[in-house]
Amino acid sequence: MKYGQGDTTEGCHVVLRLWVRNHITDRVNAPIRRQLASLIPSGARVVEVGCANGRLLLDVGWRVDCALGIDRDAPMIDAAIRSARRRNLPHLEFIAADARNLTQWLRFRPDLAVASLSLHEMPPRTAVAVLRQLALADTVLIADLVEPESGLQRALLHADEWIAGHLDRYRAYQAQGGMPALLEAGGLAVRQMLPTRNPAVRIWVCAPHVH
């Protein structure tokens, strides 16, 4: 009776995570995703780090030249691959891998790179290494967290990060200077910082530093 019980439990956990992503997280983040999509030009060659179930690339897939989505979460990547097949988007590729090795998987030179709500969850050295990989693109779009001015919004953000198990990482991210410090260390210059409908999220439009 015990044989395979762990596999069954893990399978249920994967199904639950996919359901939460598809029915809750994607809906909550839909305005940010639409804003990012509006910044991706037609005909672009795009790479996205931390793509999860690939929703952003799937949304713009009909108008980009090619795209690669990379994430360490294999079940999420499997879901993205299935969605791309259903939508007949063969020029979208999704790979379960470590983004620090991005160049190993790229088959094209990206015009644009994206990372959305993922870098603050990484150890700082990992986030910087990923940003240095993204700096291969001409333009880099980063959507991530800032500390809200409102005490209530700060409390809600910290509660959300605690529930997700990322609060310690978020606090370390802020203590070391937040996204501006990571971008500087990652070799990226900020062209523009855009507000979003979420007071805890900004979008940084960046370009590689010119040496």
Specify if 75 maps to a domain. Answer: yes
Domain residues for 63?
30-208
Task: State the pLDDT at residue 164.
Answer: 77
CA pair distance 103, 189, nearest whole angstrom: 21
Is residue 76 a part of any domain in this protein? Answer: yes
Q: How far is CA 47 from CA 31, 36, 109, 128, 161, in A?
A: 20, 13, 9, 17, 26
Q: Does 64 map to a domain?
A: yes
Above 60 in pLDDT, residue 2?
no
Instruction: Grade residue 19 by pLDDT with cuts at 50, 70 and 90.
Output: very low
Nearby residues of 189 by Cβ (< 8 Å), 6 or more positions away: 183, 206, 207, 208, 209, 210
Higher pLDDT, 3 or 12: 12
Q: How many domains does the chain have?
A: 1
Domain assignment present for 101: yes
* Mean pLDDT lowest among 71-80, 155-164, 172-181: 155-164
Look at residue 23 and tell me if it is in a domain: no
Find, among 41, 45, 26, the residue nearest to 92 by Cα: 45
Q: Which residues contact 2 (CB under 8 A, 6 or more apart)?
A: none
**Any domain includes 186:** yes
Tell me the CATH number at 65: 3.40.50.150
Span 40-59, pLDDT tens digits: 999 999 999 999 999 999 99
pLDDT number for residue 209: 84
Q: What is the pLDDT of residues 130-172, one digit of tens each?
A: 999 999 999 999 999 998 888 888 888 888 888 778 888 889 8
Residue 188 reports pLDDT greater than 80: yes
Query: Per-residue pLDDT tens for 78-129?
Result: 999 999 999 999 999 999 999 998 888 999 999 999 999 999 989 999 999 9
Residue 68 lies in a domain: yes
Helices (H) and strands (E) in the chain, counts: 10, 7
In a domain, 119, yes or no: yes
CA distance 155 to 153: 5
